């Protein structure tokens, strides 16, 4: 169904036409009907789509190894003698934090000591799922808080910030080349059928400014020369605001962003004429992104150079970018695969399922192709941070 009542009412109230950005925001984040807002989102192999932590605890264990290495460096470099934070943006069903805490519990490095966990999750429906998943750790007195970034006191947070598959869920603007000019894609209601259809609005000055800046800095043109009528792309207008919010809060910290990403020349190239956005439901993808708003996920790739540019303009240092497959191999995935062989004799089906989940994490046509971006902000500019995931 492309015209649920709740959304039609909202659009009519707003004059019959809304920007694509507003459409995506309602479809995902409306507190009563949005996919994440209402908590309808089902992650994992039995849900609508898998994320790396929802497959098994292995992903959180590997990332945990990296986080622990960074926490130790932050402590031992005397970069911070106060409390350290691990801040997870958009925690989904809580699988990542759950796996991470298990890893730190089992580690011999006492890494849990003096660490507080914060989940930054705007959607109440998802917070409920996370609280259920993390109940056992809350019961053990592990310091896990749900807060907005702005609610954390002071601008001097020390620690690790992680965003796995979060930027791809932020609402995007869509830009369409129409009648010789770039327009802002919109969504309107057909008066006769009450069905949603794509429409156009004039480009805003905020969008124009943001596109111009990227064009100058990255040497790209949007739309590309020779673009055909209807060429469409996504513009991640919220990324720089999101990064700024984090940058201003950090004293000494490392930010790990993991997501689907494409290079600018492909993202904004002639051949990518309908952008990257797709919807997910029951493990199936669809290009029909106006179908079942609120009942399916909407996700769009991020642009590698635009993200790095947005971060560097603020002052973040990019320590490197790598593919998930390579990062996880550097963090010990091959050794873990080997260890599983021992379990083949005791519980074959469990061992095979575990091996399959591990292989999915590095599958080059799926999760293995995700990009890992490591940024840091350190008060003492000469301090050095090493990252096994980038080696």
Ligand X SMILES: C[S@@+](CC[C@H](N)C(=O)[O-])C[C@H]1O[C@@H](n2cnc3c(N)ncnc32)[C@H](O)[C@@H]1O
Q: Which residues are at the interface with ligand X (CB under 6 A)?
A: 36, 43, 51, 53-54, 89-92, 95-96, 120-123, 126, 164-166, 169-170
- Burial, 116: exposed, middle or buried (Cβ in 10 Å; 0-12, 13-18, 19+)? middle
CB-nearer residue toward ligand X: 100 or 378: 100
CB-nearer residue toward ligand X: 92 or 159: 92
**Minimum distance between the CB of residue 49 and ligand X, rounded to whole angstroms?**
8
**Minimum distance between the CB of residue 20 and ligand X, rounded to whole angstroms?**
16
User: 128, 29, 80, 24: which is closest to 251 by C-alpha?
Assistant: 80
CB-nearer residue toward ligand X: 165 or 305: 165
- Burial, 106: exposed, middle or buried (Cβ in 10 Å; 0-12, 13-18, 19+)? exposed
State the number of CA atoms in the 13 A half-sphere of 244 facing the CB: 7
Element holding 371 (H helix, E strand): strand 371-377
**Minimum distance between the CB of residue 53 and ligand X, rounded to whole angstroms?**
5
Largest separation between any pair of C-alpha atoms in the chain:
67
**Minimum distance between the CB of residue 150 and ligand X, rounded to whole angstroms?**
12
CB-nearer residue toward ligand X: 91 or 104: 91
**Minimum distance between the CB of residue 79 and ligand X, rounded to whole angstroms?**
26
Q: Residue with CB nearest ligand X?
A: 90
Residue 16 is classified by DSSP as S
**Minimum distance between the CB of residue 194 and ligand X, rounded to whole angstroms?**
28
**β-pairing verdict for 84-89 and 115-120:** parallel
Contact call for residues 158 and 81 (beta carbons, < 8 A): no
CB-nearer residue toward ligand X: 121 or 173: 121
CB-nearer residue toward ligand X: 120 or 256: 120
What distances in angstroms separate CA 375 from CA 10, 31, 383, one per listed residue?
39, 32, 14
Contact call for residues 300 and 234 (beta carbons, < 8 A): yes
What distances in angstroms separate CA 193 from CA 21, 199, 294, 341, one per listed residue?
23, 16, 20, 58
CB-nearer residue toward ligand X: 162 or 211: 162
**Minimum distance between the CB of residue 201 and ligand X, rounded to whole angstroms?**
23
């Amino acid at each position: 169904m492309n015209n649920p009542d709740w959304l039609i009412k909202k659009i009519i109230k707003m004059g019959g036409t809304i920007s694509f950005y507003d459409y995506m925001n309602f479809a995902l984040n409306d507190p009563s009907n949005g996919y994440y807002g209402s908590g309808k989102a089902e992650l994992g192999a039995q849900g609508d789509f898998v994320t790396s932590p929802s497959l098994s605890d292995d992903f959180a264990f590997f990332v945990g190894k990296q986080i622990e290495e960074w926490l130790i460096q932050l402590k031992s470099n005397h970069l911070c003698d106060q409390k350290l934070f691990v801040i997870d943006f958009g925690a989904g069903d809580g699988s990542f934090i759950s796996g991470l805490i298990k890893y730190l519990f089992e580690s011999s490095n006492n890494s849990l000591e003096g660490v507080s966990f914060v989940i930054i999750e705007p959607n109440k429906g998802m917070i409920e799922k996370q609280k259920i998943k993390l109940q056992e750790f809350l019961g053990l007195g592990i310091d896990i808080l749900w807060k907005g970034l702005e609610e954390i006191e002071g601008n001097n947070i020390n620690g690790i910030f992680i965003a796995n598959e979060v930027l791809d869920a932020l609402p995007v603007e869509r830009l369409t080349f129409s009648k010789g000019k770039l327009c802002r894609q919109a969504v309107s209601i057909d008066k006769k059928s009450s069905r949603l259809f794509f429409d156009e609005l004039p480009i805003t000055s905020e969008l124009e400014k943001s596109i111009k800046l990227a064009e100058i800095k990255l040497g790209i043109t949007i739309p590309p020369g020779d673009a055909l009528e209807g060429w469409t792309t996504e513009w991640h207008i919220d990324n720089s605001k999101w990064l700024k919010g984090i940058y201003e809060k950090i004293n000494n910290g490392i930010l790990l962003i993991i997501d689907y990403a494409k290079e600018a020349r492909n993202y904004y190239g002639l051949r990518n004429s309908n952008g990257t956005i797709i919807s997910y439901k029951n493990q199936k993808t669809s290009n029909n992104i106006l179908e079942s708003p609120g009942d399916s996920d909407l996700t769009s790739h991020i642009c590698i150079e635009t993200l790095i540019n947005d971060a560097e303009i603020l002052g973040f240092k990019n320590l490197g970018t790598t593919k998930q497959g390579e990062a996880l191999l550097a963090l010990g995935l091959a050794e873990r695969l080997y260890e599983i062989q021992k379990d083949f004799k005791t519980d074959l089906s469990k061992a095979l399922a575990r091996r399959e989940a591990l292989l999915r994490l590095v599958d080059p046509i799926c999760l293995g192709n995700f990009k890992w971006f490591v940024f840091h902000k350190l008060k003492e500019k000469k301090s050095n941070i090493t990252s096994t995931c980038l080696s």
